[in-house]
Amino acid sequence: MEDRETEEVFEALWTLQENGTPPTIENLSRIAHLENPSEVIIKLVENGTLKEKEGKVFFTPESEKKAAEIIRRHRLAEVLLHEVLAIESPQMESNACEFEHVLSPQVTDSVCTFLGHPPYCPHGKPIPRGSCCSKFQVKLKPLVTRLSDFQPGDEGKIRYIATRVHPRMGRLSSLGVVPGSMVKLRQKRPSFIVEIGHTIIAIDQDIASNIFVQKTS
Amino acid sequence: MPAHHRRRRRRFRGRSFPASLPRFVLVGNPNVGKSVIFNLLTRRYASVSNYPGTTVELASARTTLNRQPALIVDTPGVNSLIPMSEEEMVTRDILLLEDPRAIILVIDSKNLRRGLLIALQLAEMGLPFLIDLNMEDEAKSLGMKVNVSKLSELLGVKVVPTVSTHKKGIKDLTDLIPQSSHASYPISYRPEIEEGIAQLAPLIKSSRINKRAIALMLLAGDRSLIPWLSFQLSREAIEQIDNIRSRIEAKFHQPISSLINQQLLQVADEIIHKVQKEQKRERRNWQEVVGRLSLHPLWGIPILLFVLFLVYQFVGKFGAGTTATFMENVVFGKYINPWVTEGVKYLLPVKFIQELIVGEYGLVTMALTYSFAIILPIVTYFFLAFALLEDSGYLPRLSAMLNSPFKIIGLTGKAVLPLMLGLGCCTMATLSARILDSKKERILVTLLLALSIPCSAQMAVILALLAGISFKATLWWGGTIIAVLIGTSFASSRLLPGASPDFIMELPPIRRPQLSNILLKTGSRIMWYLKEAVPLFILGTLVLFVLDKFNVLSYLEKVASPVITQFLDLPSRATQAFIVGFLRRDYGVAGLYMLAKQGQLSGIQIVVSVTTLTLFVPCIANLFVMLKERGWKVTSLMLAFIIPVSLLIGGLLNFILRIFAVQF
């Protein structure tokens, strides 16, 4: 991984390119979260990590690949915080900024798989694909999925219940739907019907999509 | 003080049962056979009443238990004693306030985990109890075996296996009730929660329930305890409790109630591991097959339609048709009413009083005839059918089947029940909207009942009238009503504030219903109807009588006439039908029926007038129930919506039918 300053410059340059803003040193310095950005940019151009042409800065093929990974970590972190942990901006953004520097490639792929390889971040911007996403097409199934993505007959262990509605969670927990319980999906239509032990419960699709399950069979 | 506070306060004043008798309280999850055990322990008529300040039904009965007089109380089914619903709150309140001598915890042997959750909570509360492991036969057939003595030893309470449907083990249960004891099964929660308990406990005054259990409820954010606390604590102390709670809650991302349940279930799982042996046995008996079929995405639909058809035949045809007609025309028409009329005329020679009792809007000839001859048979048959569906376990499956179409119009599958009852009697149906979980859904259903559901009395006359013209006329009427129902629900569910209601429903196994239980349930519900609805029919008739005496009715007729003649293109005599329809919905249509018979209405006029009248204001008894259940503000808003909308729809229908020159 690159150092933190480099990563901030990569992120800023990627954002500029995506928005179609001219990637001048001036523009870059404005949006990069750094104390003296122009110094760092000049250093990166000098050591060949970035290219400069007529006052504009560009990626080299290698640095572009690295930048894509940073953006991917940042946006996946946003999805994780927003959709699963139900954390709203601005905490979502500030935390995602920290995540992008610390996630290792393995953890990033696990998060991506856990989230079901989301194509867009909560702001609607595309998430660069990782190696796990293409494997997904062939064989890799996500470790943890939403109960709503289960097929009838699938069984699994509840890992997490993400809901902003607290009474809903209280009602579910008193019926035995808590992390650690084993569930079996019986059918998806006309309602979601799940078995927890010998208790059978019918729930809405929205509630099923709040329940994250690790498949066992 | 807001109304709900006043109601809450009443809850905490004094006891709701006779004080002298020792009380034994039945507690358990829903559908574990509690009421069957209750009937076996009491063997006599139970009094069913609402718990003060709530809408929850509660059965209690005096009996002799081991040669001592006792009062047995059957509480509503609960999933946790940290209340998440009104039923759970009532059960918790009984444990807290009604000083139970002992608690009989009924557990479904197949669902040991959920039953143990409550056992652990009772242990935490420090209340004396014993466990009834019911439905032992069902568990056995699934290959499950519980080591009863080990469970008893672990928890430190008596455990009795029973099969209540075969009266097995009841004698043992009765014998052991006096040996109820406090369980000892200490549970420790996460350090943050324990810290909260330690901070809260000194603030709580002693009561029947241990401070630790009360502290847990408070940490879980149980607001229903606040009024009880405010009786004994200062405002500052309550504020302090609130502060502690929010400080602890902020440490977690999940609700504390859920964390507590998680911990309890984990402990329950440990206990189960020690006492239960389960051999996986996929045995499919007929109940299992019926249960699966009734939920099948494809086969479930014909089963659903068939059940609805049977209910309609039973309630609509046999109840509203045969029985109600017989009661009205023969029992009341030929015997009771003529006799009473004769008697009153002979005994009370004052014309005013005669008219009050046996006149056109008389208390006997209208109010009692209506409530006993027409509505009573309908609700009796409906309650019978309802109890049968409930006890067989089909009812929640019906809701699960209908949930997705109902979701589109902003309701959940549960709403099918009051709407179906509305086809019998909208007054009763509006009362039964209480079964719905959210306030928003209750308001929506009340509105739909008042606006668009014709009651069986009205429906019979409507169908007779429309069938006289053509099937096409019935289709136009039915189509318009259904379109208005869907449109109104769709639009108002999006306009009304509040989130769309959640659908979380437990589906109990399909079971062979027990006749005695069904009759008992139906009996207590009929008593409920007599107490709640009949006085409203009497009050409504009185209001009518007064309006008639002071000529308000004929004045209203004059005012309304221009709207009816000009906007709806109807003869002015039709106005009377609309006014009378407010009093008795079938009389309104009957008025139109007479006009049509005399040849004063064209085909289009019949369809327009019948449609408008169906949508128009509900009957006066229904209006009273709306006022009682929803308050005057919501009811006035609904009327302000219903009156113009019904007339507008009528006018629009008239316009369309004339433009396209539809022939009937």
pLDDT recorded at residue B129: 93
Task: Give the three-state DSSP class for B616.
Answer: coil
* CA-based nearest distance B641→chain A, Å: 31
Residue B368 inside a domain? The answer is no
Contact yes or no for B211/B232 (Cβ under 8 A):
no
Q: Specify the 3-state DSSP secondary structure of B134.
A: strand
Residue B161, H or E segment: strand B159-161
Q: Which residue of B has its CA nearest to A191?
A: B400
Smallest CA-to-CA distance from B628 within B431, B426, B450, B437 is with B431
| Burial class, A189, CB count within 10 angstroms (exposed 0-12 / middle 13-18 / buried 19+) | middle
Indicate whether A70 and A125 sit together in one domain.
yes
Rounded CA-CA distance B23/B41 in Å is 13
Q: Based on the domain organization, do B166 and B264 belong to the same domain?
A: no
Q: What is the pLDDT of residue A143?
A: 67
Q: Quickly tell me which residue has 């001598």 as its tokens.
A: B101
Please give the Cα distance from B60 to B48 (Å, whole number).
7
Q: Are B144 and B208 part of one and the same domain?
A: no
Q: Is B95 a member of any domain?
A: yes
CATH of the domain at B241: 1.10.287.1770
Q: How many CB pairs under 8 A join A and B?
A: 123
Q: How confident is the model at residue B51 (pLDDT cuts 50, 70, 90)?
A: low
- Report residues of chain A scoring pLDDT below 50: 1, 138-140
Which amino acid does the sequence have at B357?
A: I
pLDDT at B2: 37
Q: Which residues pair with B74 in a beta bridge?
A: B26, B59
- The reported pLDDT for the residue numbered A57 is 84
Distance CA B166, CA B529 (A): 32
Average pLDDT value for residue range B404-425: 83
CATH code of the domain covering residue A99? 1.10.10.10
B104 shares a domain with B175: yes
Same domain, A148 and A211: yes
Say how far apart CA B81 and CA B121 lie, in whole Å: 7
Whether residue A176 sits in one domain with residue A151: yes
C-alpha B250 chain-centroid distance: 37
Give the angle subtended at the CA of B539 by the CAs of B536 and B540, to the nearest 5°: 85
Contacts of B108 in chain A (CB under 8 A): 198
Which residues from chain A sit within 8 angstroms of residue B295, using beta carbons? 186-187, 190, 193
In a domain, B454, yes or no: no
Using CB atoms, pick whichever of B257, B407, B507 lies closest to residue A202.
B507
Question: Of the residues B254, B278, B302, which one is the last residue of a structural domain?
Answer: B278
Cα angle for residues B54, B49, B226 (degrees, 5° grid): 25
Q: How far apart are CA B615 and CA B177, in angstroms?
A: 56
| Residue in B396, B499, B506 closest to A175 by CB | B506
Q: What residues contact A13, with CB distance under 8 A and at least 6 apart?
A: A23, A28, A50, A57, A59, A67
Residues of chain B with Cβ-Cβ distance to A81 below 8 Å are none
Q: Give the nearest chain A residue to B508 (CA atoms).
A: A200
Q: Does residue B211 or residue A118 have the better pLDDT?
A: B211
**Domain edge (last residue) among A88, A123, A138:** A138
The answer to whether A152 faces chain B, any CB pair under 8 Å, is no
Mean per-residue pLDDT over chain B, rounded: 83
In this structure, the answer to whether residues A17 and A74 fall within a common structural domain is: no
Question: Torsion angle, CA of A99/A104/A108/A111, rounded to 10 degrees?
Answer: -80
- Residue B71 scores a pLDDT above 90: no
Are B167 and B264 in a shared domain? no
Domain of B255 in residue numbering reads as 191-278
The 3-state DSSP class for residue B142 equals coil
Looking at the structure, do residues B210 and B92 belong to the same domain, yes or no? Answer: no
Classify residue B411 as left (phi > 0), alpha (psi -120 to 50) or beta. Answer: beta
Burial class (CB in 10 A: 0-12, 13-18, 19+), A180: exposed
Q: How much is the average pLDDT of B565-570?
A: 84
Tokens encoding B117: 């959750």
- Which pLDDT score, from 0 to 100, does residue B18 have? 62
CATH number at residue A22: 1.10.10
Contact B84 A174 (CB under 8 A): yes
Choose, out of A187, A189, A199, the residue to mutate when testing the contact with B (most B CBs < 10 Å): A199
Q: Are B160 and B237 in the same domain?
A: no
**Set of chain A residues whose Cβ sits within 8 Å of the Cβ of B82:** 170, 174
**Are B11 and B158 in the same domain?**
yes
Q: Assess B626–A contact: CB distance below 8 Å, yes or no.
A: no
Longest CA span, chain B: 83
For residue A190, list chain B residues with Cβ-Cβ distance below 8 A.
295, 297, 300, 400-404
- B274 and B256 within one domain: yes
Contacts of A207 in chain B (CB under 8 A): 502-504
Q: What is the separation of C-alpha B442 from the centre of its chain, rounded to a whole number of angstroms?
A: 11
Residue A119: exposure state from Cβ atoms within 10 A (0-12, 13-18, ≥19): exposed
Say whether both B161 and B225 belong to one domain. Answer: no
How many whole angstroms separate alpha carbon B507 and alpha carbon B511? 11
Interchain pair B262, A200: CB under 8 A: no
What is the rounded distance in angstroms from the CA atom of residue B587 to the CA atom of residue B616?
14
Contact A174 B79 (CB under 8 A): yes
B35 and B170 part of one domain: yes
Nearest partner of A155 among A197, A123, A127, judged by Cα:
A197
Q: Which two tokens stand for residue B346?
A: 């002979």
Does the pLDDT at position B527 exceed 90?
no
Give pLDDT, residue B55: 55
3-state secondary structure of B470: coil
Work out the minimum CA distance from B448 to partner chain A, whole angstroms: 23
> Could you write out the three-class secondary structure of B407-418?
HHCCCCHHHHHH
Interface of B with A in 142-161 (CB under 8 A): 142
pLDDT in tens, B375-392: 788 778 888 888 888 888
Is there a domain that residue B498 lies in? no
A91 inside 8 A of chain B by CB: no
The HSE-up count of residue B110 (CA atoms within 13 Å, CB side) is 22
**Does B10 share its domain with B74?**
yes
Cβ atoms A97, A77 nearer than 8 A: no
Q: Are A86 and A131 contained in the same domain?
A: yes
Domain final residue pick, B182, B211, B234: B182
Strands B47-50 and B57-65: antiparallel
pLDDT tens digits, residue range B187-205?
888 888 898 888 888 888 7
Is there a cis peptide before residue B562, judged by omega within 30 degrees of 0? Answer: no
Q: Is the pLDDT of residue B504 over 50?
A: yes
C-alpha distances in Å from residue B354, one per residue of B36, B75, B218, B361: 48, 47, 60, 11
Best residue in B82, B84, B276 to probe A by mutation, most A CBs within 10 Å? B84
- Paired tokens of B380: 């009796």
> Based on the domain organization, do B174 and B118 belong to the same domain?
yes
Is B132 within a domain? yes
Count CB-CB contacts under 10 A for residue B385: 23
- Final residue belonging to a domain, choices A138, A163, A181: A138
Q: How many domains does chain A have?
A: 3
Instruction: Report pLDDT for B583.
Output: 67
CA distances (Å), B128 to each of B149, B160, B182, B414, B550, in order? 18, 15, 4, 36, 64
Query: Is B42 in CB contact (< 8 Å) with chain A?
Result: no
Count up the domains in chain B and report the number.
2
Which pLDDT value is given to residue B447? Answer: 93
pLDDT on residue B11: 45
pLDDT 10s digits, B266-287: 899 889 888 888 776 666 678 8
Alpha-carbon distance A105 to nearest alpha carbon in chain B (angstroms): 27
Tell me which of B278, B302, B319 is where a domain ends.
B278
Structural domain containing residue A14: 4-59
Q: How far is CA B113 from CA A152, B205, B268, B272, B489, in A?
A: 24, 32, 6, 7, 40
Q: Is B221 touching A (CB cutoff 8 A)?
A: yes
Is A202 part of the contact surface with chain B (CB cutoff 8 Å)? yes
**B300 shares contact with chain A (CB less than 8 Å):** yes
Do the chains contact at B505 and A203, CB–CB below 8 Å? yes
Shortest CA distance to B376 belongs to which of B425, B435, B308?
A: B425
Comparing CB atoms, the residue among A85, A170, A180 nearest residue B84 is: A170
Say if residue B13's pLDDT is above 50. no
CB A23 within 8 A of CB A56: yes
Considering only alpha carbons, which residue of chain B is nearest residue A208?
Answer: B504
Q: What pTM did the predictor assign?
A: 0.70
DSSP notation for B266-324: HHHHHHHHHHEEE-------HHHHHHHHTT-TTTHHHHHHHHHHHHIIIIIIIIIIIIH
Which among A167, A175, A179 has CB closest to B79? A175
DSSP A126: B
Give the model's pLDDT for residue B49. Answer: 60
Which residues fall within 8 angstroms of residue B405, CB to CB, at 6 or more apart? none
Contacts of B533 (CB under 8 A, 6+ apart): B371, B375, B427, B428, B431, B621, B625
Cβ-based neighbour number of residue B45 at 10 Å = 12
Mutate to test the interface with A, among B111, B278, B295, B408 (most CBs of A within 10 A): B295
Please provide residue B259's backbone torsions phi and psi, each rounded to the nearest 5 degrees.
-65, -40
CB contact under 8 A, B257 and A161: no
Q: At what angle do helices B603-615 and B574-581 cross, to 10 degrees?
A: 20
CATH number at residue B39: 3.40.50.300
In a shared domain, residues A73 and A133: yes
Looking up residue A185, the CATH number of its domain turns out to be: 2.30.30.90
Whether residue A161 and residue B266 make contact (CB cut-off 8 A), yes or no, is no
Whole-angstrom Cα distance, residue B431 to residue B625? 7
- Taking each helix axis as running N to C, give the angle between helix B211-219 and helix B235-249, from 0 to 180 degrees, rounded to the nearest 10: 60
- Give the range among A89-93, B147-151, B260-264 with minimum mean pLDDT: A89-93
Domain final residue, candidates A89, A109, A138: A138
Q: Mind telling me how many Å the CA of A202 is from chain B's nearest CA?
A: 5
Burial grade of A64 (CB within 10 A; 0-12, 13-18, 19 or more): middle
3-state DSSP assignment of residue B491: helix
